[in-house]
Amino acid sequence: DAGITQSPRHKVTETGTPVTLRCHQTENHRYMYWYRQDPGHGLRLIHYSYGVKDTDKGEVSDGYSVSRSKTEDFLLTLESATSSQTSVYFCAISGGNEQYFGPGTRLTVT
């Protein structure tokens, strides 16, 4: 998985609780991304980062925030989880043209 880890790999949480997902890379790549993947929608970009403390919104950013205090770590936070945020979340990194993906986090909001 090109030196990308995600934690946790699985999580079940209740509606209204905060959740933080972590992405860690060992490749020293500049760009990092958070996607969600749902049936019928493919991969949709939530937020991305183009450097430490430099982030921007993707197409489905509502209800999510991110932080990148170090090159290697990119955190995705759901401030108050909702059932519509039940999904599989993928982190990706890029140092050039291709994006390399992590193994994913399956999040269930009950």
Partner 1 sequence: GESVGLHLPTLSVQEGDNSIINCAYSNSASDYFIWYKQESGKGPQFIIDIRSNMDKRQGQRVTVLLNKTVKHLSLQIAATQPGDSAVYFCAEPKFTGNQFYFGTGTSLTVIP
- List residues binding partner 1 (CB under 8 A): 1, 4, 31, 33, 40-43, 45, 48, 50, 56, 58, 90, 92, 94, 97-104
Shortest CB 62 distance to partner 1, Å = 18
Q: Closer to partner 1 by CB, 42 or 62: give it.
A: 42
Note whether 107 and 46 are within 8 A (CB). no
* Three-state secondary-structure class, residue 9: coil
Q: Closer to partner 1 by CB, 22 or 101: give it.
A: 101
Q: Closer to partner 1 by CB, 9 or 70: give it.
A: 9
Please report the beta strands in 1-110, taking only residues with DSSP state E, as ranges in sequence order.
Answer: 4-7, 10-13, 19-25, 31-38, 42-51, 54-57, 64-70, 73-78, 87-94, 100-101, 105-109
Shortest CB 93 distance to partner 1, Å = 10
Tokens of 13: 């949480």
